[in-house]
Amino acid sequence: MNPIIKILFEDENLWKEIYPNYKIRAGQIKLADEIYKTIKNQAFLIAEAGTGTGKTLAYLLPSLLYALEEKDYKILISTETKALQNQILSKDIPLLEKLLKIKIPAEICLGSNNYVCKRRLYNFANSQELPPQYISILEKFLKWEKESSNGIIYNYPNELPKDFINEVVRNPNLCLANNCPNFEKSFYFLEKEKWKKAKILIVNHHLLSAHIESNFSLLPKFQIAIIDEAHSFPSIYRDSNVQNLSFRELNHFIKKFKLEEILLDSLKQFQEDIQNQIIKDQKEDKFRLEKSLEINSLYQFINTIEKAKQKLEDQLKQEQDLFSNADFSEKSEKEVELINAIETLNQVINLLDIFYEGPIYNRVHFIEYNTVDLKLCVSYVDVGEFIYEKFLKKIDSCIFTSATLAINSNFDFFINKIGLIKFKDNQEYLKTLVVPSPFNYKEQALLYIPKHLEDPSDLEFLNQSIKEIYQLIDLVNGNTLVIFTSKSNLNYVYKQIITNYGEELNHKKIQIYSQEVLGAQQSLQRYLNDERGVLFGLESFRQGIDLAGDKLKCVILVKLPFSVPTDPVQQAQIELEKEKERNPFLTIQIPEMIIKLKQGMGRLIRTETDKGIIAILDPRIYTKKYGELILKSLGEYKLIKTYAELKKSYNHLYSTKEKIIT
């Protein structure tokens, strides 16, 4: 074990003044030591670190110690949630600065569309075609922009219309870079200068994915990457690489560049043909295309795009001739806009050609549509090879960590997703580690899986679930999170509980807040402000929310979170697995479901003093062969099968006088 790491983590006296609640955790020390070894050996580590391990300090300290030894080394930390990014910068790094008595240069790096572009803002404000509804918004926004230190748009205190935001943030396709008159004052480029000086870069998975696809051109060079909340990285990387043609955005583009006369009729015809020939028989609003897009109007549409492109090329030549002696930045602004507009049309043609050719190996085609838009989409099916070739091969070392990566201590599912399966048996190059949570789940939580419910495929299941959900809410007196796998199930249960049990809930001052009624953010906020609230939510509430203490006494997972069987990417993944002569139910669907299940369960116990109930209402855990694997993967809980036993155990759980810290 590295002696410095051992001393820093095991000497409580070092922490007394800066972190009075510090406790020596064997799991944290083991994780930190393995991370240091991995970085030193220029290898890879996949580590599942249970809640409460202290994994953030466990990767910050050893990576920083190593990077300080190497003068030019930088550390990149990628997370999924803004909450963790902010915690690292505002809480964990200042803690290490006090511990090590040094200044640690660290910066949160954001995608360029998070920053206000001064040139675009001022041009928009002075536009002759400025929409009247934006005049009052602009006045306040311009004042904020002048006072802002970094121009990050989500720091603006008031809500802004999406179309307004799109007009004033940096657009990389329209950026003049050092030819811009505002370059020296540019929020984005000033921030990039700070990134160059930082030892630690904190990004999100989306920006890292974009950086990888840009051939490492968006961020300063780094040698060590730490991917926290790593369970979501492969899917975010894949989704970031989806190519799509939005008919709504294309309409906006046509109007902006005054191409209606050339393009509008053929676009409308093409869209109508897709709706009449392909969409009309579909029951889902997102569905797969398994063959080429054989629509006659497709050829006509491509021809008119070529004509529109020619018109823009003629305009570009005129601009170049007209302003050949003009100020370079003035000339460049119009040129850049036209050059990028022409490139946009090239991309549209390329995407339409892909749809004309039809799907090929490792590529899935699908259509998404609703009342306001229709999109043609192309996605990779398996991105593991790309992650390895384009990212992992180009850096010295990478640490992947999360509370949910393994299935019964097996990492094959995740290893395959990040393209490292060929190194599975090479312990020197790729190491895996499970660090159990220090929490005592057997003493702190009750795992309630009722045995008597019907299979979820039975219509009676939801009606039985309604009674179970109400009983659980009643037992814990509110402070319950209920996670559903579909909007329709959430809406049905919500309506029935209000109808059947509304009076009882009102009498007990228990209010239910539905994500489908209020939206995710507002429903969560109202729940947090209510002493006895109940939150009905969907997938987004499986992770990223931290409700310690009595704020959350019960988590109810209505169904096992299998992916929607109609999802085009999942369908293609299943086919790909079959081609490789593997059982996709065991290699994809079960592991993916178990990780999602563990994420939802992880909302309950966030500290050593938290207590409560985790309820999984899905009886397939008892009736299906895979149920045993699920139970083995969930950890050590006290399993309860009847409500009568649960009530008794819950009363015993809260009979202690120990105060719960919130």
pLDDT of residue 82 exceeding 90, the answer is no
- Residue 193: phi and psi, rounded to 5, are -65, -35
- Is residue 367 packed enough to be buried (19+ CB in 10 Å), middle (13-18) or exposed (0-12)? buried
**Checking phi first, is residue 510 left (phi over 0); if not, alpha (psi -120 to 50) or beta?**
beta
pLDDT at 235: 96
Estimate to the nearest angstrom the gap between the alpha carbon of 42 and the chain centroid.
28
Q: From residue 484, how far is each of 234, 502, 630 by CA, in Å?
A: 24, 20, 18
Q: Which two tokens stand for residue 654?
A: 């809260």
What class, spelled out in words, does domain 441-653 have in CATH?
A: alpha beta
**146-177 residues labelled b (16+ CB within 10 A) or e (exposed):** eeeeebbbeebeeeeeeebeebbbbeeeebbe
Q: What is the DSSP string of 360-374?
A: -TTEEEEEEE-SS-E
Which tokens go with 260? 């209606």
Residues 6+ positions from 515 with CB-CB distance below 8 Å: 490, 523, 535, 536, 537, 538, 540, 541
- Fold type of domain 3-105+198-237+383-435: Rossmann fold (3.40.50)
Q: Which residues of 462-482 are buried (b: 16+ CB within 10 A; e: fewer)?
A: bebbbebbbbbbebbebbbbb
Q: Please write the tens of the pLDDT for every residue from 518-562.
A: 999 899 999 999 999 999 999 989 987 878 678 899 999 999 999
Averaged confidence pLDDT in the chain: 93
Q: Which among 182, 205, 242 is positioned nearest to 77, based on CA atoms?
A: 205
* Cβ atoms < 10 Å from Cβ of 409: 11
Alpha carbons within 13 angstroms on the beta-carbon side of residue 149 total 1
Distance from the Cα of residue 587 to its chain's centroid: 22
Residue 338: closest CA among 266, 253, 262, 260: 253
pLDDT band at 329 (very low <50, low <70, confident <90, very high): low
Is residue 240 within 8 A of residue 210, CB to CB? The reply is yes
CB 145: neighbour CB atoms within 10 A?
A: 19
Instruction: Residue 342: count other Cβ atoms within 10 Å of its Cβ.
Output: 19
> Is it the case that residue 90 has pLDDT exceeding 80?
yes
Is the pLDDT confidence value at 378 over 90?
yes
DSSP letter, residue 180: S
CB-count burial class (<10 Å; 0-12, 13-18, 19+) for 537: buried
Task: List the domain boundaries for the chain.
Answer: 3-105+198-237+383-435, 112-189, 244-380, 441-653
Name 426's Cβ contacts closer than 8 Å, sequence gap at least 6: none
Residue in the block written with tokens 């209020």: 518
Q: Map tokens 């989409």 to a residue.
A: 377
Does residue 269 register a pLDDT over 80? yes
How far is Cα 552 from Cα 479, in angstroms, rounded to an integer?
A: 5
What confidence category does residue 179 fall into, taking pLDDT thresholds of 50, 70 and 90? confident
pLDDT digits (tens, 9 = 90+) for 601-658: 999 998 888 999 999 999 999 999 999 999 999 988 999 999 999 999 998 887 754 4
Question: Which ranges in 116-225 belong to alpha helices (H)?
Answer: 118-125, 135-147, 162-168, 187-197, 205-213
Q: pLDDT of 22-77, one tens digit each?
A: 889 999 999 999 999 999 999 999 999 999 999 999 999 999 999 988 878 999 99
Q: Do domains 3-105+198-237+383-435 and 441-653 have the same CATH topology?
A: yes
Joined together, the tokens standing for residue 656 give: 């202690």
Closest CA to 451 of 643, 637, 596, 613: 643
Measure the CA dihedral 51/54/59/65, to 10°. -170
